[in-house]
Amino acid sequence: MPALSSFERKLNKHATTFLIGGLFLSLSVLFYFAFCSLPCDDVTSGLSRADLRDAQNKAFWNRNILAPSRDLVYPEVVFIMSAPDNLMGRDTIRETWAKDLPNTVLLRFIIGTGSLSTQQHSNIHRENFIHSDLLLLKSVNDSYGTLTLKLLESFKWLDRHVEFTHLIKADEDSFVRVDRLAYELQKKPKERFYWGFFDGRAHVKKTGKWAEADWILCDRYLPYALGGGYVLSSDLVHYVSSNSKFLKLFNSEDVSLGTWLGPLDIKRSHDTRFDTEYKSRGCKNSNLIMHKQTLLQMRELHNNLLKMGQLCSKEVEYRKSYVYNWNALPSQCCKRPQEVTS
């Protein structure tokens, strides 16, 4: 078979070429996977691959003046403000209340990456490569002092990239009943809606971590939902996002949001099932969000849910709640039962 042997001769002659070519090809593929599939995800844009795809699809649909296709719609979005180094906190949330969320929920940990060390960067990107649940904001240098900017930047990202109905904002020490919230949200207003545990008589802090040096509006803060967890309809996220350049950023993100939404004609819904004060009021099975939970407590709450179908092994109350009186002036809004008699 002369043809084959001539082919074989050629093959021998070009063996070195093939070898070098093959080596080059393998190296290229290796380089692609090592350097592109990892950082190209989000180093350049702050988006994960899924988000990028969604954003691109959304842009496509908007350009064609069609409704966004269904799989790009997340009725509920959950944002958790998170510190760059708190991997353990995020893992605990991933293994407890954020485990097995329905695919109608978009969950993101929000992290500012503006001033991270090389080591932190590499940790964060490795983490996101595994979980794809970080929203990395390059314009934010993460610290207590930049929480409000972080909230604002996350709103701007959300408004630009996601078609959603409600945003649930939580802290990384909050336990969130996403299932119950999502169920109740079906019957809640889809517009002009601000839901949480409100305070209208909070004194302006002049010292400490949450001091507000620039507060000049009045002697108390304006009514705001406490930051451990609250819910906003998407139009309010849009309102804040589109007016962001005019907004004054106060130190506390929750105080800031209450102030930004202060003059708006919206439904403020006070709900005692948001246990979101600076310390927990106890354990109630009806709670929707429980703030100030340790990692151990989060695991306990999750295990209780798995084992008994309820949050608390025993309901306890350390601190009375209050019903917000919207008919009184703000300084009289929020009296706990024992205060009413005095």
Ligand X SMILES: *[C@@H]1O[C@H](CO)[C@@H](O)[C@H](O)[C@H]1NC(C)=O
* Residue with nearest beta carbon to ligand X: 115
Q: Which is nearer to ligand X, 141 or 325 (CB)?
A: 141
The answer to whether 333 touches 200, Cβ cutoff 8 Å, is yes
How far apart are CB 330 and ligand X at their closest, in Å?
33
Q: Which is nearer to ligand X, 95 or 214 (CB)?
A: 214
How far apart are CB 51 and ligand X at their closest, in Å?
23
Q: How many angstroms separate the CA atoms of 191 and 318, rounded?
A: 35
Q: Which is nearer to ligand X, 112 or 227 (CB)?
A: 112
How far apart are CB 124 and ligand X at their closest, in Å?
15
User: Could you identify the residue written with the tokens 């999502």?
Assistant: 182
SS3 65: coil
∠ Cα 135 227 301 (to 5°)? 85
Which residues in this chain contact ligand X in the complex, by CB under 6 A?
114-115, 141
Query: Cβ neighbours of residue 106 under 8 Å, at least 6 residues apart?
Result: 74, 76, 77, 78, 162, 164
Please report, for the chain, how many H helices and E strands are present, in that order: 12, 14
Q: Which is nearer to ligand X, 28 or 115 (CB)?
A: 115
How far apart are CB 48 and ligand X at their closest, in Å?
23
How far apart are CB 112 and ligand X at their closest, in Å?
9
Q: Which is nearer to ligand X, 122 or 303 (CB)?
A: 122
Q: How many angstroms separate the CA atoms of 268 and 246, rounded?
A: 23
Q: How many angstroms separate the CA atoms of 330 and 219, rounded?
A: 11
How far apart are CB 145 and ligand X at their closest, in Å?
9
Q: Which is nearer to ligand X, 248 or 319 (CB)?
A: 248
Region of residue 99 (phi > 0: left; psi between -120 and 50: alpha; otherwise: beta):
beta
